[in-house]
Amino acid sequence: MPQLTHPPAGIAPALEARVGLWIGRFAAALALTGGVLLIVLVILSVISITGRGMAGWIDFLPFRPGPIPGDFELVSAGCAVAVCTFLPWCQLRRGHVTVDVFITRLPPRGRAVLTLVGNVLMTGAVAIIAWRLQLGLADKMRYGETTMILQMPVWYGYAGAVVGLWAFALTALYTVWRSINEIAQGRDGD
C-alpha cells in the first residue's frame, strides 16, 4: 500500500521558495550595485585626497591636480544610497546583529518564533522609515534644495535611498512569510 505524503506545512511553501529566489536575486543585484558605488566613491576620494596633497607641487604638468570640488557632497549622498542597497541582502541572509545568549537554549520552534517576532518588528520599522524618507524626498524635490558646491539636487541621494529602503521593506515582509513557514515546518531557519 503506498504511503500518503503530506505537502509541506505553511503558507504556500512552494510559492514562498520561488518568491524567495526572485527576492534573493533582486537583493543581490542591489547589494552589488551598492558595492560598485562604494568602489567608485573610494576611487573618487583617493583622487581628491591625492590631488589635494599634490596641489602646487607639480606645476609643470598641463593639468593642475587638486581636490575634486564637491567630493564630500558626492561621498555623503553615495554612501547613504549604498548603505540602503545593502540592507535587503542583509535581511534576507539573516545578517543583522542578534543576541544569542538566551535563545541558544531554546528549541528550534522557540527560536523560529522569536525570529518571526523580530522580522515582523523589522518590517514595521523599515516600512515607517521608508515612508517618512519618501515624504522627505517629495519635500526635497518640491523645494529644489541643492548642495552647496556642486549645486546637485539633494533629492538624488534621497531617491536612491528610498529605493533601497522599500526593497528592504519588501524583503523584510518576505522574511515574515519565510518565518511563518519555518515555524509550521518545525525549523528554526539556521
Q: What is the pLDDT of residue 41?
A: 97
Q: What is the pLDDT of residue 55?
A: 60
Q: What is the pLDDT of residue 105?
A: 84
Q: What residue type is assigned to position 181 of the chain? A: N
% of the chain at pLDDT higher than 70: 89
The Cβ of residue 108 has, within 10 Å, a number of other Cβ atoms equal to 15
Average of per-residue pLDDT across 124-147: 97
Q: What is the pLDDT of residue 6?
A: 67
Total-model pTM: 0.88
CA–CA distances in Å: residue 78 to residues 41, 75, 146, 159, 167: 7, 5, 15, 11, 17
**Residues 6+ positions from 140 with CB-CB distance below 8 Å:** 153, 154, 155, 158
Q: What is the 8-class DSSP label of residue 66?
A: -
Q: Identify the band that residue 101 occupies on the pLDDT scale cut at 50, 70 and 90.
A: confident
Q: Give 146's strand partners.
A: 153
CA–CA gap between residue 58 and residue 98 (Å, rounded): 52
Whether residue 126 is predicted with pLDDT greater than 90 in this model: the reply is yes
Reading the block at residue 27, the C-alpha cell is 537583493
Q: At what angle do helices 71-92 and 13-54 cross, to 10 degrees?
A: 160
81 neighbors 164 (Cβ within 8 angstroms): yes
The 10s digit of each residue's pLDDT in 167-186 is: 999 999 999 999 999 999 88
Q: Identify the band that residue 50 occupies on the pLDDT scale cut at 50, 70 and 90.
A: confident
CA–CA gap between residue 74 and residue 82 (Å, rounded): 12
